[in-house]
Amino acid sequence: MFKKILIANRGEIALRIHRACREMGIRTVAVHSTADSDAMHVRLADESICVGGPTSRESYLNMPALLSAATLAGVDAIHPGVGFLSENSEFAQMVVDHDFVFIGPSAEHIRIMGDKILAKAAVEELGIPVVPGTPRPVSPQEEGIFDMAKEIGYPILVKAAGGGGGKGMQVVQAPEMLENALTIASAEAKANFGNESVFMERYLKQPRHIEIQVLADHHGNVVHLGERDCSIQRRHQKIWEEAPSPAISAAQRMELGNRVADATRRMGYQGVGTFEFLYENGEFFFIEMNTRIQVEHPISEMITGIDLIREQIRVATGEPLGFTQDDITFNGHAIECRINAEHPATFLPSPGKITAYHPPGGPNVRVDSALYTGYSIPPYYDSLISKLVVWGRDRDECLMRLRRALEEYVISGVETLIPLHQALAHNEDMQKGAYDIRWLEEFLAKQNAS
């Protein structure tokens, strides 16, 4: 087992990784920017090292500084968390080349899955259905784009192959808009992701976003932990997630889950991973794979009792999985609310000092957050400040508990999405589970109009 791990991240996820390490008897090394010296992950870690200035580029994305810190602290492994360098294949390779273990899959798997075109081709070959689209990058000047688009069928979605965070997508309703959309998307993709490659796929009108969590060791053992429904999104970013999905049956879960686990095994993939699908009219279509732990992992933990980060660390040491698919049971219902430091109606970021902090408690309530009274949220990073995760024996009990937990939650000094989550938890469609990926935007538009 590792003796010491460097956590190459910040905020709630750095704390979450620290907690798993401490429960495994592993010492932790926090890294931080100059803006984060009094952050909770720094306070709790056994050691901490400042790796650069306040912007992510100077610190959390600063590969040489992170590797120097790892060398200085004498760690065995580096956990990249989510965002930042977690899906950067170059970093994963550098970590290995410096004789540290990268807690994640191989650089090669990260590279392939980081390109949506290659990822779709790779999983399609393994029998996973994908969203129909072009199997290669397309350019606006290219002859034949109109025929390709016609074959896919309008509306078309132009997507950046290297895109992420819901950015780099353009909906095209009719042929006369196609060339322009490809030009804009390609320029945006180059500016944001350093990769101008774009492709086209069918734009599904009212799907749900359903994803399958997998866990694989280095010995060919793979399990799936069922699905998460992440359809409640704004600008393609998840706001509320739940497991199981209110829309799919136990038979569908096991059918898709087993197929995905089988594909993972045949790929030779190792670690945790998530296959993301759109689900419409009874059919699943793969859109992309995330080769890291995800923000919404706690809801799968709540319904399976498995500590995913602990397992991720265990398999990274080369230990075999301690259980099989038959040992995994799905119990009850879990919901996660992403609480961002943002205005609940305008979504404008709201950094600043927390003047009072009181998280909810009681049975089956989990708060993953690095906040404390007196802490100042810096303006430089992602606005996610807390994840409220609740469990109930069924969805109704879970919603009841969520409403009372949201009532208890006090975060003063900054604006947060708590009022939005309260409105969602009381909403009739949400109570019925009757929503798709467009639902939240429509709900917000109605609210703004009234």
- Candidates 209, 292, 333, 401; binder of ligand ADP (CB under 6 A) is 209
- Candidates 81, 137, 162, 163; binder of ligand ADP (CB under 6 A) is 163
Within positions 70 to 129, which residues make up the interface with ligand ADP, using CB under 6 A? none
CB of 391 to ligand ADP, least distance (A): 24
Instruction: Supply the DSSP string of 202-217, one letter for each residue.
Output: E--SS-EEEEEEEEE-
CB of 427 to ligand ADP, least distance (A): 19
Q: Please report whether residue 273 would count as binding ligand ADP according to CB under 6 A.
A: no
Q: Which sequence positions are flagged as catalytic? A: 292
Within positions 50 to 79, which residues make up the interface with ligand ADP, using CB under 6 A? none
Structure letter (DSSP) for residue 417: S
Q: Which range touches ligand ADP (CB under 6 A), out of 37-45, 83-91, 201-209, 325-333?
A: 201-209
Instruction: Supply the DSSP string of 293-335, one letter for each residue.
Output: --TTHHHHHHHH---HHHHHHHHHTTPPPS--GGG----SEEE
* Listed residue (398, 314, 313, 383) closest to 352, CA to CA: 383
- Candidates 87, 188, 227, 276; binder of ligand ADP (CB under 6 A) is 276
- Candidates 152, 287, 316, 377; binder of ligand ADP (CB under 6 A) is 287
Q: Cis check for the bond before 244: say yes or no (omega within 30 of 0).
A: yes
The residue (of 209 and 297) whose beta carbon lies closer to ligand ADP is 209
CB of 138 to ligand ADP, least distance (A): 15
Structure letter (DSSP) for residue 218: T
CA distance 179 to 181: 6
Instruction: Supply the DSSP string of 114-166, one letter for each residue.
Output: TSHHHHHHHHHHTT--B--B-SS-B-TT-TTHHHHHHHH-SSEEEEETT--TT
CA distance 269 to 184: 34
The residue (of 295 and 321) whose beta carbon lies closer to ligand ADP is 295
Q: Which range touches ligand ADP (CB under 6 A), out of 140-148, 180-188, 203-211, 342-350?
A: 203-211
Amino acid symbol at 65: A
CB of 167 to ligand ADP, least distance (A): 6
CB of 297 to ligand ADP, least distance (A): 16
Q: Please report whether residue 203 would count as binding ligand ADP according to CB under 6 A.
A: yes
Q: 182: which 2 tokens?
A: 């490809």
* Contact residues: ligand ADP, CB under 6 A: 131, 157, 163-167, 201-204, 209, 233, 236, 276, 278, 287-288, 437
